[in-house]
Every structure is written in structure tokens, then in C-alpha cells.
């Protein structure tokens, strides 16, 4: 990018060993950190092609770059900087409220204005964080003090979860095939219990035996097959799938109506994640077979 153009925008430009850096002095006093009450008077950039990348102060690091190709020499760069901060503060408040509504305590670093939160689905502990545009990402997953290194690959939309437990189960699904699930023993106990017909006829006995165990959909259908699920009622499903000896976890959460958000995770993390319509979904086995390009008979649902 031409140095003269950068200077016309009000930037102080330096060039050291081919690295172009620039600083902008903010003169209106409108860039304010609401937590420290500090007025931000300068921002620093590095120039990459036709983009300005924020490198300081901490309140701006990681913000969306400024595309210089769309600016004229007379553009008020400070207005764009202030708008960037205000958008982040808006997302910060919105996402903090959503976390609180789920019963999750938000934490905002006063210097960087980074929003994070802690969740736990034994044996895993999770740290999630929001980008400056409001996009949530799994920042860290820890299993008995050992960090699982692929956590930063996982992105999700917070508003698609209706309760804290659903989000915790969703995060756990990323690692369900590489981390032992302590709740699985309850399912095994239920399977080994004699006189299954008697147990099935008594829901209170099932709850007393394994309060955290999964509930087979066939039992729901048998009991409520003629009923309907309300348009915005939350609904989550989970199934363990085995493909050629590989264990996978399929999870789906209802967004609204017939729209679901699905996830397929394996030993190396997320295999697939996207929205889908219930009317177009061919079933878990058929979907996994098509997604992984394997014959239908080689896909087995093992969570039943």
C-alpha cells in the first residue's frame, strides 16, 4: 500500500525491514473502554497488502481488519475505528446476556474485553469464548489436567442452545470417542438389569436406577407416538455410531420447527457440522454412510 495514501488517512507510518506499521491518533475521545473507563487515544496497525490489521491496544486485537481498497484519501479512519469498538461492545453485551440466560456466568477481561465462560461435562472442562463479531468458539478442553489440543477448531452458534446441559453435551460430543464417558456405566447397568419388561413399565424405577442415562427414542415413540412437539420446544438427540471400527458421536439440536443443527464428531474432533431440515434427513445410518462414503451396512448405531 502506498505510504502517501496511508499518511493522507492520518496514519503515522514506519517501515522497518519490510514490515510496514502505522498508528492512528484518536482525537474525538469516543473510543472508551467501559470497564476500565480508559479513553483510548491511539491504535496501532500492521499493513498487510491492502488491509490494516489491528495490533494494539488490547481492546482492538483480533478485530476485523480495515480494507483500504474501499477508502478514499479523505475518509475519516477514526470513525471506522470507533464503529469497530462499538460493534464489539454491542456483541459483548448481547452474548453475555445469552450466557446468563443459560445459567452460565460470563467473564470479560477488563483489558482485552475478551468474553469467555467455563463449562463442565465430566470428565471434561471447557472454556468457550466469543470473537469480536460475536462468534463463539471452543477455546480449551481439559481432561484430568491434560489439554486436548484440537479445541480451537470448533465453532458454534450459542443462540441455538436452549439450556446449559445441551451445550455441555454438544461440547462433549467433540471428544466422546477419545474420552471415557463415566455415565456409560449407568447405561450398561440398565442393560444388564433382569426383567427388562418390568423396568420399562415403571418410569420411576428407570429414573431411580440411572437418572443421567439416555432415553431411547423408541420408548418416547411408544408412549407419545400420537403427540406433537411444539414449534420452538427444545429437542436434542445423541447417538453413538460405529463405522469400520471407528467410534463416532452424532448429535442434533432443534433450532425451530423442522430445522436442526447437527454434529458428527470422531477421535480427531469434528467431522461435520451444519443445519439440516428434518424432512430431508435420511436417518442417522444413511446420512453417515453417505457422508463418509461407506456402504450402509457398515454403519452401526450402537447407542440403542
Same domain, 181 and 87: no
Residue 285 lies in a domain: yes
Which residues are CB-neighbours of 88 under 8 A, at least 6 positions away?
A: 59, 63, 113, 132, 133
pLDDT at residue 48, rounded to an integer: 86
Three-class DSSP labels, 193-249: CCCHHHHHCCHHHHHHHCCCCCCCHHHHHHHHCCCCCCCCCCCEEEEEEEECCEEEE
Residue 56 lies in a domain: yes
Same domain, 167 and 210: yes
Consecutive 10-residue runs of the chain (304 residues): their mean pLDDT? Answer: 85 83 93 94 91 92 88 84 94 93 94 94 92 88 80 73 88 81 56 44 35 65 78 74 83 79 74 85 91 89 64
Give the predicted TM-score (pTM) of the model: 0.60
Tell me which of 65, 96, 127 is where a domain ends: 96
Residues of the domain holding 241 = 115-301
Same domain, 147 and 67: no
pLDDT at residue 200, rounded to an integer: 38
Number of domains in the chain: 2
Same domain, 239 and 129: yes
Same domain, 13 and 125: no
pLDDT at residue 43, rounded to an integer: 95
Same domain, 89 and 122: no
Which residues are CB-neighbours of 157 under 8 A, at least 6 positions away?
A: 136, 261
pLDDT at residue 189, rounded to an integer: 44
Amino acid at each position: 500500500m502506498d505510504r502517501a495514501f496511508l499518511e493522507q488517512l492520518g496514519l503515522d507510518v514506519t517501515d522497518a525491514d519490510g514490515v510496514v506499521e502505522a498508528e492512528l491518533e484518536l482525537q474525538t475521545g469516543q473510543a472508551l473502554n467501559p470497564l476500565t473507563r480508559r479513553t483510548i487515544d491511539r491504535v496501532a496497525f500492521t499493513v498487510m497488502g491492502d488491509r490494516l490489521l489491528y495490533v494494539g491496544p488490547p481492546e482492538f486485537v483480533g478485530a476485523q481488519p480495515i480494507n483500504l481498497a474501499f477508502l478514499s484519501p479523505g475518509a475519516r479512519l477514526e470513525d471506522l475505528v470507533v464503529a469497530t469498538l462499538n460493534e464489539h461492545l454491542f456483541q459483548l453485551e448481547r452474548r453475555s446476556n445469552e450466557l446468563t440466560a443459560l445459567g452460565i456466568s460470563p467473564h470479560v477481561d477488563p483489558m482485552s474485553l475478551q468474553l469467555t465462560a467455563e463449562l463442565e461435562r465430566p470428565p471434561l472442562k471447557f472454556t468457550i469464548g466469543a470473537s469480536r463479531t460475536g462468534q463463539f468458539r471452543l477455546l480449551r478442553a481439559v481432561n484430568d489436567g491434560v489439554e486436548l489440543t484440537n479445541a480451537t477448531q470448533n465453532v458454534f452458534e450459542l443462540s441455538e442452545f436452549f439450556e446449559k446441559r445441551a451445550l455441555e453435551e454438544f461440547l462433549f460430543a467433540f471428544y466422546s470417542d477419545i474420552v471415557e464417558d463415566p455415565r456409560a456405566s449407568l447405561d450398561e447397568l440398565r442393560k444388564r438389569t433382569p426383567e427388562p419388561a418390568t423396568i420399562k413399565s415403571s418410569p420411576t424405577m428407570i429414573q431411580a436406577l440411572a437418572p443421567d442415562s439416555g432415553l431411547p427414542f423408541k420408548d418416547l415413540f411408544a408412549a407419545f407416538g400420537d403427540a406433537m412437539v411444539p414449534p420452538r420446544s427444545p429437542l436434542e438427540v445423541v447417538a453413538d455410531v460405529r463405522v469400520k471400527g471407528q467410534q463416532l458421536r452424532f448429535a442434533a439440536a432443534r433450532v425451530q420447527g423442522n430445522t436442526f443443527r447437527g454434529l458428527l464428531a470422531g477421535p480427531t474432533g469434528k467431522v461435520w457440522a451444519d443445519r439440516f431440515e428434518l424432512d430431508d434427513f435420511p436417518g442417522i445410518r444413511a446420512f453417515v454412510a453417505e457422508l463418509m462414503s461407506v456402504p450402509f451396512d457398515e454403519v452401526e448405531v450402537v447407542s440403542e
